Each structure stands twice: as structure tokens, then as C-alpha cells.
């Protein structure tokens, strides 16, 4: 039986995971016959002894037949998760990546980073695939189910389409393409990563680009393009136009393009995606 990692979660995180997966009812391990089971007996409540002298303490009536002295009622205990649901945050991420000098150090730092519920609900941290030092770096959005299972980006159906497009243009991840994502952990239900998660992960992917030092960056999808370019424009408006990503004084030529998953839903746009890929190849040949 495959280990899902749920036994490593604290109670609050596990409860949040069950709610996110759609669980809305608690069920006992064994069935209870409510028709024949004896009715629970009401607990006997002892009344406090009558004081012989002095003023009687003030008594609150909480429910019929039960009396409690003021200030002695049940105390509410707030749940305190061991780890934050939202993760360590952007400031912690920036502090961590500042000391990373190599891709191996960055990968180790990402594996040790507190990514909150997003990381703890994922099977793997998806760091990268392809060839380190390649002239082209492709940055996607976030892992899907297949990527989460294998621990590599773009290995599912959309990744197969990407490989076919790269091969048709004379490129491949085996020799001249390096691939990663803005978010390294699969969101529950393959949902689009929220802004807080993107902001927390942004220092890692920017450092990733800096250390990989590609000649060009191909940003696939709106999440990737908007995060790296710092814009609110959608991918339809952004695609096909070269931009620059400035990372600590280093400038990287960057081109937004449609995500392969979007092309599978909108096959009529494959022509535009092919045009963008040819533009990337021309850029690499001229640099």
C-alpha cells in the first residue's frame, strides 16, 4: 500500500486536508445499531454544598437541571497547529535562497522549506527536469497529478505534447532544454495556485533562473508569465512578445506562451504556440 504521508501530519493539518478532499461527515470504525442500543443515562450532577456562613456564591443557570458557579464553566481550547497552514512565507523564502550558490543547494533548501499545507499534501517536491546548463529554460505553473507522482515537471499528457513540439523544432529536454515550475508542489484538486502561494514560491524560481543562467526563458501559462513579469495582464495579451526578467542585475530574455494543457483544450491555438516556439529557436541561434 502506498504511503501518502498523511500519518506525518498534525491533527489540524490532517483535518484541513480531509475538508479539502470533500469529507464532511465523521463515521465510526464500527457500525452502531441505534434502534437497539440502550439510551445513554443522564449524568448525575451533584449540587455544591450549602455554605454555613457568608454570602452565597453567585450561580449561573446554564441549562435545565445543571448549575455552574460563575467563572467555572468549560474553557475553550484553541487549536494550535504545529506547522503553519500557509507556510513560512515570502520573507523566509528570500532569506533561504540568499545563501544558495548552486542548483543542488537550492534543491536541498526547497526540500527543507516549510511549504505549508500545499507541500504536506503533495507526494513530491517537483524541482526540475531536463539538462542543466541548457540554453533554454521552460517555466510552467505547477505540477499536476502525474508530475506529483513522478517528481518531475511536464511528464503527463501536456508534457507529452510539449515534448512533441520541442522535438519538431529540433530541441529536446535531453540535450538543450531545462524545465521547472513557479510552484513546486501540486495544489489539491489541480487548482490554480493562489496568490499567497505564488508569492511565497517566487524567490525560489527567480533564484532557479539566476543559477541556471539560460539564454532564454519560455514562460508557459498565465501564472508563470504574470508571476515572473510582475504584471496582471492575461496570457492572451502577453504571449508572443519578448520581455526581460531582471534578477539581481542579470537580464534574461523571456517569452510568454500558451500552456500545453490549454492547447489540449483549445487546439486551434497550436499554430500560435508553434510560432512562439520558432521565435525562441531564432533567439537562441542569434545569441
Q: Kindly report the number of other CB atoms within 10 A of residue 277's CB atom.
A: 19
pLDDT of 81 reads 52
The answer to whether residue 71 sits within a structural domain is: no
The answer to whether residue 64 sits within a structural domain is: no
Digit-by-digit pLDDT tens for the chain (287 residues) are 455 555 566 777 777 777 777 676 666 666 666 566 565 565 555 555 555 555 554 545 545 544 545 556 666 766 655 566 778 899 999 999 999 999 999 999 999 999 999 999 999 999 999 999 999 999 999 999 999 999 999 999 999 999 999 999 999 999 999 999 999 999 988 899 999 999 999 999 999 999 999 999 999 999 999 999 999 999 999 999 999 999 999 999 999 999 999 999 999 999 999 999 999 999 999 98
The answer to whether residue 224 sits within a structural domain is: yes
What is the H or E stretch that residue 54 is in?
none
Which residues, 6+ apart, have CB-to-CB distance to 37 below 8 Å?
A: none
Range of the domain at 95: 90-286
* Residue 112's CATH number: 3.40.470.10
Q: How many domains does the chain have?
A: 1
Chain segment 131-162, per-residue pLDDT in tens:
999 999 999 999 999 999 999 999 999 999 99
Chain segment 209-233, per-residue pLDDT in tens:
999 999 999 999 999 999 999 999 9
The answer to whether residue 12 sits within a structural domain is: no
In whole angstroms, give the CA distance from residue 178 to residue 183.
16
The answer to whether residue 202 sits within a structural domain is: yes
pLDDT of 1 reads 47
The answer to whether residue 53 sits within a structural domain is: no
Which residues, 6+ apart, have CB-to-CB distance to 120 below 8 Å?
A: 5, 8, 9, 13, 17, 83
Contact 183, 106 (CB under 8 A): no
pLDDT of 73 reads 65
Q: Kindly report the number of other CB atoms within 10 A of residue 207's CB atom.
A: 23
The answer to whether residue 200 sits within a structural domain is: yes
In whole angstroms, give the CA distance from residue 214 to residue 226.
19
What is the H or E stretch that residue 257 is in?
strand 250-257
Q: What is the number of H-type helices and E-type strands within the chain?
A: 11, 8
In whole angstroms, give the CA distance from residue 238 to residue 254.
11
The answer to whether residue 103 sits within a structural domain is: yes
Amino acid at each position: 500500500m502506498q504511503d501518502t504521508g498523511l500519518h506525518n501530519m498534525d491533527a489540524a493539518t490532517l483535518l484541513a486536508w480531509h475538508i479539502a478532499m470533500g469529507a464532511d461527515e465523521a463515521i465510526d470504525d464500527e457500525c452502531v445499531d441505534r434502534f437497539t442500543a440502550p439510551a445513554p443515562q443522564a449524568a448525575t450532577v451533584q449540587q455544591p454544598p450549602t455554605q454555613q456562613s457568608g454570602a452565597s456564591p453567585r450561580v449561573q443557570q446554564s441549562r435545565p437541571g445543571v448549575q455552574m458557579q460563575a467563572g467555572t464553566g468549560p474553557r475553550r481550547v484553541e487549536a494550535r497547529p504545529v506547522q503553519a497552514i500557509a507556510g513560512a512565507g515570502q520573507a523566509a523564502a528570500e532569506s533561504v535562497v540568499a545563501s544558495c550558490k548552486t542548483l543542488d543547494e537550492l534543491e536541498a533548501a526547497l526540500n527543507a522549506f516549510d511549504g505549508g499545507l500545499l507541500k504536506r499534501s503533495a507526494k513530491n517536491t517537483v524541482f526540475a527536469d531536463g539538462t542543466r546548463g541548457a540554453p533554454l529554460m521552460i517555466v510552467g505553473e505547477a505540477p499536476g497529478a502525474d508530475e506529483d507522482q513522478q517528481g518531475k515537471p511536464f511528464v503527463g499528457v501536456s508534457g507529452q505534447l510539449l515534448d512533441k513540439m520541442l522535438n519538431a523544432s529540433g530541441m529536446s529536454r535531453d540535450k538543450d532544454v531545462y524545465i521547472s515550475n513557479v510552484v513546486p508542489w501540486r495544489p489539491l484538486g489541480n487548482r490554480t495556485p493562489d496568490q499567497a502561494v505564488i508569492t511565497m514560491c517566487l524567490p525560489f524560481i527567480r533564484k532557479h533562473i539566476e543559477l541556471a543562467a539560460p539564454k532564454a526563458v519560455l514562460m508557459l501559462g498565465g501564472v508563470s508569465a504574470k508571476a515572473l513579469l510582475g504584471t496582471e495582464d492575461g496570457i492572451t495579451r502577453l504571449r508572443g512578445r519578448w520581455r526581460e526578467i531582471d534578477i539581481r542585475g542579470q537580464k534574461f530574455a523571456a517569452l510568454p506562451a500558451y500552456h500545453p494543457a490549454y492547447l489540449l483544450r483549445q487546439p486551434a491555438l497550436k499554430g500560435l504556440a508553434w510560432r512562439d516556439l520558432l521565435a525562441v529557436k531564432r533567439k537562441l541561434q542569434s545569441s
